[in-house]
Structure 1
């Protein structure tokens, strides 16, 4: 061989290791960054807001997507256990092939986004995000065979979750008859400004996840409808009216911060403009996101948090909607306009469904109980959820404090009576307490309780 070939050969030998992916395990540190999952949850929320899903339907999207993420990740840590056989109908989840190397965080993100894309309308928005985030996984230096194997496993889990979801009665309820307004005294009727039809009148027929049934935790009866000025109902109506007329700056800020109404439409003359907002469930998934980041939770603990909170949300909504369409209680706005002050308007737009109980009170408390179970009852966090909507962040020193504020915000907003708020909060706590006792995501439950201390 001629001498002048030696420098070229030497250069090729030096560059060879840099031109190939090295299976040295260093990629695992980067790929295990829970930010991949946090960003995916935020992207799903953005799409849910864009597509304007109702609060109950949004909770369903979060639940199936988050459980998919957890189930794809659970095999990465022997201390965690699957939710199969713990939530209704979920059995025989796909298992990774023994002896094969996987990147479970990649599989988790793949499962989450695949399910989320399946359940939303704007698939192209999630697809674009998928292209971006999968490329970032590839750039960690992950071996090609690990990448492909992990993507395939995530798809397997997602397919299993979608198949499970098909039996929850959701599709059937799409064809059920619309809610019929009876105009009976004290019963719900559509409210201004758009007088929309009742939303999801058959939601209580959706299969629960961990609850035994939709009516497992029926709240106390609301005050009987009465226009007698000495009646409890009239007194509560008057309280909502007077509160709305005399809001302090802090009360106004609280009501606005927890508005979370995806149905808001602004009217200017003959023009209407939809103002897209996060749902109540979306706000609590954001709090779960913030809690994970604040606690510096690893990937599996983050996936666990999202899964448990999302189950608290959907079972909370099913339980709440069961009562809403049982009591069918009239909204304060309707009573006040007809019998007290025809010019009065609540600060917040009244959502299009019966009043009792307060949905935000129910799901905020069910989610808060779960988050307290995971992170403790003295967890301080800064809730920046509404900053992107032009509102300042608020600081809370416990999840309970946040849930209490979310509940009372409905009185300040003029859309609920006090009994709907207080009894809804009690109902939500019962749902949350039941879930944390029934669902075991840690094989050593003592370890979970110690981690909260």
Structure 2
């Protein structure tokens, strides 16, 4: 009888411990979100997404996570009615207890999985996180997961109405070989123009793709006194100067740091292969991560930072690509090889789309404006985004300074005229200001605009 009593007591004690474990609180850390974003970027590099498509992959998962977070946090405002016809997300079942941070992460991971190709790579990472949270409190985790998936379905349905599926079946871009002013494919792979219909993607905050239509490029002319030819010659002269200075020159280091070309063709004899890197948007998402870590931002502010930055980046690509295929301007490399020096090569490989305006300039201007609004001006940071690709850390005194360097890097790389850079930065900054003025995401910003 005594043995039975002892066994029963032990059983009750074990059962009690098990019950306590199953009701343990689940904490989602900013670092888990950073790791999730890093994993998605890693897979995007593997799958080779073009820069505009990559911007879409960032935006929707972040919006889904943000909407769930804002539903349970009085400091943040819903994007309902503010972003591209987005309606109110469904609310959780009132009979269930939901951890909103877990639900936000589930929605983020689920939508990311739908937008990439290598799903298994993300599922392995996702399951490792799920195992941690489920082990703390299975019932709470499962209810939170169910709600996160519900919101992912809602945002996914809204996402699928942004005209992206339709652009997959639209005609390919036709190269006008009879017009010397128009873009032509560039060496070494002579890839066809990517995403010629990106201006048809539904914008997030801007009114339309052409809302921030920039001034047109200088009139095409090969007369040596013309503004256009002077800009062409400047690209050539800068390239020759860099060539003389060698690989250790500051200009080459800047060009390589901001290269961010997801697909660089390499030819060795009869063999051609690609080296893969992050996109321009991914670099600025990396800077958002750096700023969040430096400021010890909590989970909510980290989601906010990623979301606002990714929205600015996505609209910047829509705006930039609208101009690229309107002006359809020929790249410096093509004209220099035709009219100045047939053996000249740019420091960087010319990307496969028209020249004007510079995508790096527009996107960097917009992203830097959004990040300045979040973290403040004169925000010093060490940018280690490119360390994984063998490049050293570069330091900046502000996001604006980083954007200016990203823009001029395209001149050093030999792939853009000065006007595309300078007008592009203004285009991006104007767009970024419009985003922060019209996207009310925090209670303070709403009160400031509605005193």
TM-score range, shorter chain: over 0.9
State how far apart, in whole Å, the 2-side matches of 1:279 and 1:447 are. Answer: 36
- Displacement of 1:70: 0.8
Alignment of 1:308-323 (within 5 A): 308-323=308-323
**2:128 aligns to what?**
132
- Displacement of 1:6: 3.9
Q: Please tell me whether residue 228 in structure 1 is matched to residue 223 in structure 2.
A: yes
- Displacement of 1:86: 0.4
State how far apart, in whole Å, the 2-side matches of 1:4 and 1:185 are. Answer: 96
Alignment of 1:157-168 (within 5 A): 157-168=151-162
**2:263 aligns to what?**
263
1:244–1:414 CA contact under 8 A, matched in 2? yes
Q: Please tell me whether residue 360 in structure 1 is matched to residue 356 in structure 2.
A: no
Secondary structure of 1:265's counterpart equals strand
State how far apart, in whole Å, the 2-side matches of 1:410 and 1:325 are. Answer: 19
**2:75 aligns to what?**
79
- Displacement of 1:4: 3.4
Select which of 46, 50, 57 maps to 1:50. 46
State how far apart, in whole Å, the 2-side matches of 1:89 and 1:347 are. Answer: 42
- Displacement of 1:170: 0.8
Q: Structure 2 unaligned runs (5+)? A: none
Secondary structure of 2:70's counterpart equals helix
State how far apart, in whole Å, the 1-side matches of 2:320 and 2:45 are. Answer: 22
Report Cα offsets for 1:95-145 as digits up to 9, x if no partner.
Answer: 123474211111111101111111111111111111111112223x23x22
Alignment of 1:341-380 (within 5 A): 341-380=341-380
**2:287 aligns to what?**
287
Change (3 A) 1:5 1:98: closer
State how far apart, in whole Å, the 2-side matches of 1:80 and 1:350 are. Answer: 41
State how far apart, in whole Å, the 2-side matches of 1:397 and 1:448 are. Answer: 27
Alignment of 1:37-116 (within 5 A): 37-98=33-94, 100-116=96-112
2:262–2:276 CA contact under 8 A, matched in 1? yes
Report Cα offsets for 1:230-267 as digits up to 9, x if no partner.
Answer: 11111111111111121251111110000000120111
Secondary structure of 1:401's counterpart equals helix
Q: Please tell me whether residue 19 in structure 1 is matched to residue 10 in structure 2.
A: no
- Displacement of 1:448: 9.3
Q: Please tell me whether residue 408 in structure 1 is matched to residue 404 in structure 2.
A: no
State how far apart, in whole Å, the 2-side matches of 1:406 and 1:340 are. Answer: 27
State how far apart, in whole Å, the 1-side matches of 2:108 and 2:258 are. Answer: 27
- Displacement of 1:7: 3.5
2:440–2:446 CA contact under 8 A, matched in 1? no
Change (3 A) 1:4 1:175: closer
- Displacement of 1:177: 0.7
- Displacement of 1:68: 1.1
Secondary structure of 2:395's counterpart equals strand
More deviation, 78-87/344-353: 78-87
Report Cα offsets for 1:405-427 as digits up to 9, x if no partner.
Answer: 10000000000000000000000
**2:182 aligns to what?**
187
Change (3 A) 1:448 1:385: farther
2:134–2:142 CA contact under 8 A, matched in 1? no
- Displacement of 1:396: 1.2
Change (3 A) 1:4 1:222: same
**1:212 aligns to what?**
207
Count residues with an aligned counterpart: 443
State how far apart, in whole Å, the 1-side matches of 2:122 and 2:448 are. Answer: 34
Q: Please tell me whether residue 241 in structure 1 is matched to residue 251 in structure 2.
A: no
State how far apart, in whole Å, the 2-side matches of 1:414 and 1:277 are. Answer: 19
- Displacement of 1:446: 7.5
1:220–1:423 CA contact under 8 A, matched in 2? yes
Report Cα offsets for 1:7-49 as digits up to 9, x if no partner.
Answer: 433433433332234466x624xx2311121111111111111
More deviation, 11-20/84-93: 11-20
Secondary structure of 1:27's counterpart equals coil
1:383–1:393 CA contact under 8 A, matched in 2? yes
Q: Please tell me whether residue 335 in structure 1 is matched to residue 335 in structure 2.
A: yes
**1:34 aligns to what?**
30
State how far apart, in whole Å, the 1-side matches of 2:164 and 2:69 are. Answer: 26
- Displacement of 1:447: 8.5
State how far apart, in whole Å, the 2-side matches of 1:149 and 1:395 are. Answer: 44
1:410–1:421 CA contact under 8 A, matched in 2? yes
1:442–1:448 CA contact under 8 A, matched in 2? no
Report Cα offsets for 1:184-217 as digits up to 9, x if no partner.
Answer: 1211000000111111111101111100000001
Change (3 A) 1:79 1:425: same
The runs of 4+ residues in structure 1 deviating greater than 6 Å are 446-449
**2:429 aligns to what?**
429
State how far apart, in whole Å, the 2-side matches of 1:21 and 1:393 are. Answer: 46
